[in-house]
Structure 1
Amino acid sequence: MKISELIDKADEYLGVENRKRKSKIKCLKHVLDKLRKREKKLELKFAEGRGNKEKISNELALIHAHRKKGLKLLKQLKEEQKESKRSNDTVIDKDDNDNVKDIDKDNEQKMDKDTDDKS
Structure 2
Amino acid sequence: MESSGSVSFDLGVEAHFCNCDIQASLKTSWTEKNLGRRFWGCPRFGKKSMPLACVYFAWYDPPLYKRTLEFFPPLMRRIKMLEAELQKQREKERRLEIGLVVSCVLGLVGVHVALCF
Is the structural similarity TM-score above 0.5?
Answer: no
Range of TM-score over shorter length = 0.3 to 0.5
**Higher share of residues assigned strand:** 2
Q: Which structure's CA Rg is the greater one?
A: 1
The TM-score, its normalising length taken from structure 1, stands at 0.43
